[in-house]
Amino acid sequence: MCTVTCVAPVNIAVIKYWGKRDENLILPVNDSISATLDMDHLCAKTTVTASPDFKENRIWLNGKEESMQNSRLQNCLREIKKRAEVPNEMENWKIHIRSENNFPTAAGLASSAAGYACLATALAKLYKTEGDISGIARAGSGSACRSIYGGFVRWYSGNDPTGIDSIARPIAPATHWSEIRILILVVSDSKKKVSSAEGMKRTLETSKFLKYKVEKIIPDRINEMQKAILNKDFTTFAELTMRDSNEMHAACLAAYPPCVYMNDISHSIVDLVHKYNDAKGSVKAAYTFDAGSNATIFLKERDVSEFVGVLNNFLPMSENHLNGYLKGIPIKTALPSSD
Ligand code: DP6
């Protein structure tokens, strides 16, 4: 018997991945950039056990058994088998996978990213696979490839139809910009109505605005963002982050039927951040929203307590506001993890 346990963190995109050019291989229409969070906060933990005594492959997610006949899971297993040198004696061994998140699954908190990054890492360790494994994580969920690395990470969309060059690469370790902090404001921890996969498919097929964003806006923006990170230029980083989030959600609204992820509280957070920045006379905080109503705020460590004070004044914890506090999920402060 052989057992491996791994932990993998969540990542938050500042230039979003939204649209696949190949649905099966999970190849994106554009490059994206993210920050990987500290493992102490939001992460997935996965244990993979291989044994000659197991009769079949099985998987449990957060304690509940799920079907192995999931194409994403099968994609990951296929990719790892292609790359791994499975020892002869393990050739016919079946595996049992147990994975847990320490945060709500499918609530727009990038649970699949941490989950598949963790599975790819655990399988790579089990089968002693060398080299970059971001492509294996990508085969499970696109954004997962960025969680393989710490700090600031870029996922290159690549050009090859096989996806061989669609991999993640670190831009800079977390220590490069160590004053950056992230607050996650949990507006809702219920499951999203339209999954990311379905939402991005519909948006790509029906929203002309998404095509414009991908072709005309992102190519320059991605390089400006990388430069802003390398230069620790918070004003540019923050503006590009907010614009990219706004434009992703505008593209979603331009889908037919529209995909609506942000709610009134999300929009109140957007207003509050802009008012806060205006009041300070410079850009001190940036919001970004994934496929859900929850906000992630990027800011510098020295501004965290003031911003939280402003937040508590204007969007206090109550049934009408940030119910995430009430559900016992406080604001998380996290540093992107180092390599
Ligand atoms: C809005 O990686 O969850 O968080 O590849 O279909 O699994 P699949 O999608 P997923 O999409 C994430 C979308 C996003 C933006 C991002 O993380 O870049």
Query: Token pair of 264, please?
Result: 């009134």
More confident residue, 74 or 323: 74
Dihedral sign, Cα of residue 278, residue 282, residue 285, residue 289: positive
Q: Which atom of ligand 1 is nearest to the CA of 140?
A: 7
* Proportion of the chain above pLDDT 70, given as a percent: 90
Distance 230 CA to ligand 1 centre (A): 24
Is 51 a residue whose pLDDT tops 80?
Answer: yes
Complex ipTM over 0.95: yes
8 Å CB contact between 244 and 288: yes
Distance 145 CA to ligand 1 centre (A): 10
In whole numbers, what is the pLDDT of the chain averaged over residues?
90
Has this prediction a pTM greater than 0.90? yes
More confident residue, 195 or 189: 195
Protein residues whose CB sits closer than 6 Å to any atom of ligand 1: 13, 16-18, 26, 32, 110, 112-113, 141-143, 196-197, 290-291
Q: For residue 257, say if its preceding peptide bond is cis, omega within 30 degrees of 0.
A: yes
Which pLDDT score is estimated for 325? 41
Take atom 7 of ligand 1 and give the residue whose Cα is closest.
141
